[in-house]
């Protein structure tokens, strides 16, 4: 029987996304035992007042080992929105692994996730369940493929060899934290150019497993299978790695020769080609208009957001099955804050038999998380 005071601590509660997590928990889970944490008590008090949130709080500085050790003794799980994780996440994750404390994050930094696998054996021994990428990167992609392949197994008795993810629409903004993580990764590359080899490897998180060469995803092209022009999707670099790690962790139910790519859908013909070229020239995480960490869009803007992703299962150049993943709310803020919250609660309450380790969402929670996300109207999975 656990003697921990809290089921979970929200670390980063004063950040823009962290506040959305606090707001969601406060509204939807009144009986949960939880606390909020950040570096500044004044900012914590302001969040509690603004959201009428009467829960305990504690000071937690990710660079202060005394703070971290104190938090570990009080909670079963740490939910952290504090990025870039390669700057602020090292000691938090290491101590969770050491002390058997569960952990979820919003990490889209594959290089850091690769480095953190050094704690894999420690987590296995302590029983800590560490789950990365519990937001828009990479839950829709990871669980979308998981859902499709399970359906393919039911319908055909085997998985499809290839899945093409096509982002049909996406309305919303990306967080300042995401942009800061990209800048931190670019800075690390300047200091260590060899790190580039890790970042471009789709199997870098697969603990030594190397699958086949993957489809190109770095420039527009006409996809003859789906008969449309497609353009690079800027989140593919992390999502594809998580999908392949899930396949590896699940003992390759998608096959050891599985192919996967993600692109924006631009449409057929000349218009599709023009649109694909225009998309390829735009990166929403670079430029002068990217929000700074702690900033974000208005509630009206967040509520009006949405996303629609199509997953197409292909064998021998023929489309076998289509699955959609759709969600309401700004993907980078509104929907992401709900995704990570439901991931934390799923891990705590729905997965008692999950062993310690470092996971992606599909092998950690799979259908249980899909069910929870649909029940809470966060996103929906369907065959088309």
Q: Is 106 a domain residue?
A: yes
89 plus 203 within the same structural domain: no
Of the residues 309, 329, 349, the one at which a domain ends: 329
Q: Are residues 87 and 177 in the same domain?
A: no
Q: Quick check: is 2 in a domain?
A: no
C-beta atoms surrounding 140 within 10 Å: 27
Same domain, 228 and 360: no
How confident is the model over 285-303, as pLDDT tens digits? Answer: 555 556 666 677 788 888 8
pLDDT, residue 192, reads: 72
pLDDT class for 196, splitting at 50, 70, 90?
Answer: confident
| pTM assigned to the model | 0.94
Cβ atoms of 15 and 43 within 8 Å: the answer is no
Q: What average pLDDT does range 342-350 have in this prediction?
A: 98
Residues 177 and 306 in one domain: yes
> What is the average pLDDT value for the chain, to the nearest integer?
92
Q: How confident is the model at residue 174 (pLDDT cuts 50, 70, 90)?
A: low
| 278, 347: one domain | no
Query: Is residue 275's pLDDT more than 70?
Result: yes
Q: Does a cis peptide bond (omega within 30 degrees of 0) precede residue 138?
A: yes
Q: What is the pLDDT of residue 298?
A: 80
pLDDT in tens, 183-194: 666 667 667 767
Asked if residue 3 belongs to a domain, the reply is no
CATH number, residue 43: 3.40.50.720
Residue 1 lies in a domain: no
Are 219 and 320 members of one domain?
yes
Does the residue 166 lie in any domain?
yes
- From CA 3, how far away is CA 243, in angstroms rounded? 36
Q: Estimate to the nearest angstrom the gap between the alpha carbon of 5 and the chain centroid.
A: 27
Q: What is the pLDDT of residues 29-81, one digit of tens each?
A: 999 999 999 999 999 999 999 999 999 999 999 999 999 999 999 999 999 99
Q: Note down the domain range covering 193.
A: 139-329
Whether residues 44 and 88 fall in one domain: yes
Instruction: Give pLDDT, residue 45.
Output: 97
Indicate the range of 126-135, 326-335, 336-345 predicted with least confidence: 326-335
Indicate if 173 and 318 belong to the same structural domain.
yes
| pLDDT in the model for residue 1 | 46
Q: Has residue 384 been placed in a domain?
A: no
* Number of separate domains in the chain: 2
On whether both 249 and 299 belong to a single domain, the answer is yes
Query: Does 283 lie in the same domain as 354?
Result: no
Residues 248, 357: one domain?
A: no
Q: Are residues 128 and 143 in the same domain?
A: no
Asked if the model's pLDDT at residue 24 lies above 70, the reply is yes
259-267 and 162-171 strand pairing: parallel
Alpha carbon distances (Å) from 20 to 34, 45, 73, 303: 15, 15, 25, 12
């Amino acid at each position: 029987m656990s003697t921990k005071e809290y089921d979970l601590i929200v670390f980063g509660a004063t950040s823009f996304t962290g506040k959305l997590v606090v707001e969601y928990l406060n509204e939807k889970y009144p009986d949960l035992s939880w606390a909020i944490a950040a570096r500044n008590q004044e900012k914590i008090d302001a969040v509690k007042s603004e959201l009428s949130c009467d829960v305990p709080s504690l000071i937690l500085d990710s660079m202060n080992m005394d703070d971290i050790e104190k938090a570990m003794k009080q909670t079963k799980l740490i939910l952290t929105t504090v990025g870039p994780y390669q700057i602020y996440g090292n000691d938090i994750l290491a101590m969770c692994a050491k002390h058997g404390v569960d952990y979820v994050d919003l990490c889209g930094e594959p290089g850091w996730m690769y480095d953190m696998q050094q704690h894999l054996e420690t987590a296995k021994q302590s029983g800590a369940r560490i789950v990365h990428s519990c937001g828009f990167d990479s839950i829709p992609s990871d669980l979308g493929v998981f859902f499709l392949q399970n359906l393919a197994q039911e319908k055909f008795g085997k998985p499809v060899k290839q899945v093409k993810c096509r982002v049909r629409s996406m309305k919303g903004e990306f967080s300042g934290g995401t942009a800061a993580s990209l800048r931190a990764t670019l800075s690390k590359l300047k200091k260590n150019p060899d790190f580039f080899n890790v970042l471009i490897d789709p199997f870098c998180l697969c603990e030594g497993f190397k699958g086949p060469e993957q489809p190109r995803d770095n420039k527009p092209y006409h996809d003859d299978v789906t008969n449309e022009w497609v353009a690079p999707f800027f989140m593919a670099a992390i999502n594809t790695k998580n999908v392949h790690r899930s396949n590896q962790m699940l003992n390759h139910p998608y096959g050891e020769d599985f192919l996967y790519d993600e692109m924006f859908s631009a449409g057929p013909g000349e218009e599709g080609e023009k649109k694909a070229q225009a998309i390829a020239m735009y990166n929403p995480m670079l430029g002068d208009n990217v929000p700074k960490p702690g900033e974000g869009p208005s509630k009206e803007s967040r509520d009006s957001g949405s996303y629609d992703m199509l997953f197409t299962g292909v064998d021998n150049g023929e489309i076998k099955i289509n699955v959609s993943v759709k969600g309401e709310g700004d993907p980078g803020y509104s929907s992401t804050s709900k995704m990570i919250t439901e991931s934390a609660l799923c891990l705590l309450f729905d997965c008692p038999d999950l062993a310690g380790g470092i996971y992606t969402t599909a092998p950690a929670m799979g259908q249980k998380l899909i069910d929870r996300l649909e029940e809470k109207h966060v996103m929906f999975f369907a065959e088309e």
